[in-house]
Amino acid sequence: MKYFPFLLALLIVGCQNTKTGYQDQKTGTMGDSAMVVTTHPLATQVGLEVLRNGGNAIDAAIAIQFSLAVVYPVAGNIGGGGFAVIRTKDGDFHTLDFREKAPKRAYRDMFLDRDGNVVEGSSTLGHKAAGVPGTVDGMFKLHEKFGSVPMEDLIQPAINQAVAGVEISSFDAFNINKYQEAFREVNRDSIHFLKNGEWKEGDSLFHNELAGTLSFIRDFGRDGFYGGLVANQIVAECLTNGGFISKEDLRDYNAVWREPIVGEYRGYKVVSMPPPSSGGVAIMQLLQGAEEYPINKWGHNSPDAIHLMTELERRVYADRATFLGDPDHYDVPTKMLLSEDYNEERFDNIDLKAATPSEDIKEGKVDIIESVETTHFSVVDKWGNAVSLTTTLNGYFGCKVMVKGAGFFLNNEMDDFSAKPGVPNYFGLVGAEANAIKPEKRMLSSMTPTIVEKDGELSMVIGTPGGATIITSVFQTILNVVDHGMTMQEAINVPKVHHQWLPDRILYERSQLDTATIIQLIEMGHDVEDRGALGRMDCILVHPNGQIEGATDRRGGGAAMGY
């Protein structure tokens, strides 16, 4: 193995002690009636206040989304998009796709040079990288179908936060400082994220222009964003700087209600997001494969369990790269991918004692995988309504372009298309024809908001940011609760591992696997590599006694609050 000498030396000197205290906390925040879990305490407070004042889980989710655009600007947004899985108090499920779209002027080879090679950075930095935002339309679609509180009351808390200013965390300061050069490169005028000297924890950000934009949305509804002054600002920003978003793109954008992906795992009903999310299909394939093996007997993160998860994941991610895309523009073979016959044959050649090289599953080469740059939140109300919602700008601060006069960042979701078949995107994910760039098409995503039932009753609300690692983090969290009997706090705090077909290596969280396990995985034929955090889960578990546990990830700075 090419990593063996390096890893062996590392293991001898540095990996003897793998206990860091992360697993000490046994349960999260407990509530009797309702629970909100988000990546930021101020957004959690906004959602909880909506619930306390009589709003339902969908009302709270809308208010949280607008709040995150203010208090968590690295990924919270009105300039991006996402997915929502909803369970109503009657047990009905709905999924809303408010994923961004390619502009009408987009074209297949827009990020390639004359020789047909991808121009580095062209799909991630600057105006051309932005897709048509879907978040605002998505929130109005949610409100139209399920809202019970006036929309203006759900937007006002975010306006108040923007005007009052937000004290930034060390995490915020690090990332704002990190991207100062990029902000200057793509914004002609100064933006309020730029500063002479470094930002520090405790500094305040005042979002006055964003407050104005949110006020237009509050007063004029959807048209306050997709028409009028704000739309003019977006179009002027894009079309004068090489971007593609037009008035027609904004006017014609529509979020779409889709049929949920539904599966079973050891007596649990699992409901997740359909394409253009790859998460629902991938999760169901992984669970079908895992159900055939005694995961609980092997033990959490045992060599056998990690090996099996890896072998399942390399096959499922290869399928993702080949078959998945926007179902409105490509005939996605969802039924085939979810069929027991297909997956039985797909997983039939797994060797429980030896790794299968990814190149033997499908040709390809990838050398990168990037980081956690999305956000997720979970909500349950006193009536039993539940929302699992994942939203993103793609990279932190999206394409780094702030719309002049409007105070918000545009996404860089065009990178989630296959700029060129077989060439990896920012998260190291490969795509094919199914995810090629096409006007008005939605780009493929790994976001995996998921809700789980047991015996017809709400059991779990799950999701995470993490790019390519989202799917595997959600998968392991379900296994941790169902197979290993963990609380939700334990399930998200314990160490995670990740494999995505290409690059062909297992990622594990630094200092979180014991030496013997790593050596055994290497002996089974796996390359292994340590990383920082994998996933930043914000999830909910309903205990058998009816109590609701909200758990926020020790890897992030979120908050769970309930009553």
d(CA 457, CA 293) in angstroms, rounded, equals: 26
Q: Cβ(492)–Cβ(271) under 8 Å? A: no
310 is catalytic: no
Closest by CA to 136, choosing from 536, 374, 464, 411, is 411
Q: How many residues in total does the chain contain?
A: 563
Give pLDDT tens digits for 389-415: 999 999 999 999 999 999 999 999 999
> Longest C-alpha distance within the chain, in Å?
64
d(CA 473, CA 2) in angstroms, rounded, equals: 27
d(CA 115, CA 87) in angstroms, rounded, equals: 49
In this prediction, residue 377 carries a pLDDT of 98
d(CA 191, CA 133) in angstroms, rounded, equals: 20
Q: Cβ(75)–Cβ(171) under 8 Å? A: no
Closest by CA to 326, choosing from 106, 504, 39, is 106
**Is omega for the bond preceding 503 within 30 degrees of 0, making it cis?**
yes
**Stretch (H or E) spanning 4:** helix 4-14
Q: Give the domain ranges of the chain.
A: 4-29+261-371+447-562, 53-81+92-258+397-414
Closest by CA to 458, choosing from 61, 60, 187, 57, is 57
CATH architecture of the domain 4-29+261-371+447-562 equals 4-Layer Sandwich (3.60)
d(CA 318, CA 325) in angstroms, rounded, equals: 13
Buried b (16+ CB within 10 A) or exposed e, 218-243: beebbbbbbbeebbebbbebbeeeeb
Q: Cβ(390)–Cβ(449) under 8 Å? A: yes
Q: Cβ(47)–Cβ(378) under 8 Å? A: no
Give pLDDT tens digits for 357-378: 988 886 333 333 344 478 999 9
Report residue 547: phi and psi, to 5°: -70, 150
Reduce the secondary structure of 340-354 to three states and give it as a string. Answer: HHHHHHHCCCCCCCC
Radius of gyration for the alpha carbons in the chain, expressed in angstroms and rounded: 22
Mean per-residue pLDDT, 247-268: 98
Q: Are strands 29-31 and 548-552 parallel, antiparallel or unpaired?
A: antiparallel
Give pLDDT tens digits for 204-215: 999 999 999 999
pLDDT greater than 80 at residue 23:
no
Helix (H, G, I), strand (E, B) or coil at 165: coil
> Could you tell me the pTM of the whole model?
0.93
Q: Structure tokens of 7?
A: 């890893």
Catalytic residue among 39, 44, 374, 464: 374
Mean per-residue pLDDT, 264-287: 97
d(CA 257, CA 220) in angstroms, rounded, equals: 23
Q: Cβ(355)–Cβ(525) under 8 Å? A: yes
Helix (H, G, I), strand (E, B) or coil at 479: helix
Q: Structure tokens of 127?
A: 């105006």
Burial (0-12, 13-18, 19+ Cβ within 10 Å), 483: buried
Burial (0-12, 13-18, 19+ Cβ within 10 Å), 398: buried
Buried b (16+ CB within 10 A) or exposed e, 93-117: bbbbbbbbbbbeebebebbeeeeee
DSSP for 218-246, please give it.
HHHTTHHHHSHHHHHHHHHHHHTTT----
Q: Cβ(463)–Cβ(450) under 8 Å? A: yes
Give pLDDT tens digits for 132-170: 999 999 999 999 999 999 999 999 999 999 999 999 999
Question: Across the chain, how many H-helices and E-strands are there?
Answer: 20, 19
| % of the chain exceeding 90 in pLDDT | 83
d(CA 214, CA 251) in angstroms, rounded, equals: 18
Give pLDDT tens digits for 448-488: 999 999 999 999 999 998 778 999 999 999 999 999 999 99
Give residue 502's pLDDT band: very low, low, confident or very high (50, 70, 90).
confident
Average pLDDT over the chain, rounded to an integer: 91
Mean per-residue pLDDT, 174-180: 97
Q: Structure tokens of 30?
A: 């407990």
DSSP for 60-120, please give it.
HHHHHHHHHHHH-TTT--SSSEEEEEEE-TTS-EEEEEE--B--TT--TTTTB-TTSPBPT
Give residue 321's pLDDT band: very low, low, confident or very high (50, 70, 90).
confident
DSSP for 277-337, please give it.
BSHHHHHHHHHHHHTTS-HHHH-TT-HHHHHHHHHHHHHHHHHHHHH-S-TTTS---HHHH
User: Would residue 546 be called left, alpha or beta, if left means φ above 0 and alpha means ψ between -120 and 50 degrees?
Assistant: left
pLDDT greater than 60 at residue 17:
no
Give pLDDT tens digits for 34-44: 999 999 999 99
DSSP for 485-505, please give it.
---HHHHHHS--EE--SSS--
d(CA 62, CA 162) in angstroms, rounded, equals: 16
pLDDT greater than 90 at residue 354:
yes
